[in-house]
Amino acid sequence: MAKGVRLDVQEVVRYFQELEDPRSSVNRRHPLESVLVIAIMAVLAGADGPTAIARWARLKADFLQQLLDLPHGIPSKDVFRRVLMGLKPDAFQACFSLWIESLRKAASAALGDQRPTFAVDGKTLRRSHNRQANLGALHSVSVWASEFGLTLAQVATAEKSNEITAIPQVLSLVDLRGAIVTIDAMGTQTAIAEAIVDGGGDYILALKGNQESLHEATVAYLTEQGETGFEGTDARFHETVQKRHGRQETRSYVQMSVPQSLPGLGRWKGLATLGMAILTCVRDGKMTVDARYFISSLPLGVKQFAKAVRNHWGIENSCHWCLDVTYREDQSRIREQHLRENFAWLNRLTLSLLKQHPGKDSVAMRRRSCGWNEQFLLQVLTGTEG
């Protein structure tokens, strides 16, 4: 966990004291805070649903009763299910805001003066649909702080096509001041650009067919300037070469001021530069080339532009990949609407906690260690080191 964030279990418990209990007050036997802390600990240890949470808790009964208020012993799986089904996802997520913010501040201090990249992207839980209830697979949009390894916020949508409306919602949950927000082409919308700038951040927005005229004009302009070697322009260049796994990857970046002749320039608040990223990959003697184009409110500074473009893929490689491979989230058959949203947030929270631990083990090994060793579990939960 980021250096400087140190909690004890009771401080974790206090994050949930203001949360409204969704259960009936009749025969309510288990404190809400204790139920939720057990859920977090169980997911850290590998649990993938209410039944697994309850099973883990029963096996760890002596340990948990020393830490938490459990006057009637360990809750049953039905208690965990009722609580996670009944909690409103936005209220549940809001309880973690102070915790996440403390982790972010500590990580920011370690980063120094560098500006963080906040990557925004969506992910679908492919097996979470329920045709009988006319419920499509859960699709959620989240903000991933690439350098920190933190999910800062999440908003669920009914369909992938609803990302355009979900992105402003998820951005409103995050302090954008000083951040560089990167979004794929679906989020390249004038209202989203304006929201980022108004929030104190800068944007790098990918271009594709959904902004056809802007995309075509940008490609044409950069191609035209490239034919003369960008002579007479303020273009900046950066290149990296990486050899790994039997292939060589060359990443070439170009950034330059936006021309005043760009169609629709006045519609994009803060638009200052255009960018291009070209990936050339050579493997087994075969070469592939992929060029991507961007608009940005960033001033000229090609290394910063290149770093943010590359960091955007952290949400795929460091977040979504871990959720699919380590958490097996794509295999989840949790189908009740609130339950699946709340569990998706628990997965992202616990992944963030695992990534803050200073050990050198993989995320998968850290998660296994949480299941094997109670002291290691407490280290990850509270930010302490052994």
pLDDT tens by residue, 316-328: 889 999 999 999 9
Rg of the Cα trace of the chain? 23
Classify domain 114-319 by CATH number: 3.90.350.10
pTM of the model: 0.90
pLDDT reported for residue 27: 81
Which two structure tokens, joined as six digits, stand for 203? 């944007």
Per-residue pLDDT tens, the chain, 386 aa: give them.
444 455 678 888 888 988 999 998 888 899 999 999 999 999 999 999 999 999 999 999 999 999 999 999 999 999 999 999 999 999 999 999 888 988 888 888 877 768 999 999 988 876 666 666 666 667 889 999 999 999 999 998 866 567 888 999 999 999 999 999 999 999 999 999 999 999 999 999 999 877 889 999 999 999 999 999 999 999 999 999 998 878 899 999 999 999 999 999 999 999 999 999 999 999 888 999 999 999 999 999 999 999 999 999 888 889 999 999 999 988 877 778 789 899 999 999 999 999 999 888 999 999 999 999 999 999 999 987 75
Q: Report the 10 Å Cβ neighbour count for 200.
A: 11
pLDDT reported for residue 8: 78
pLDDT tens by residue, 39-62: 999 999 999 999 999 999 999 999
Q: Are 107 and 2 in contact (CB under 8 A)?
A: yes
pLDDT reported for residue 2: 46
Domains of the chain by residue range: 9-98+350-382, 114-319
pLDDT reported for residue 131: 65
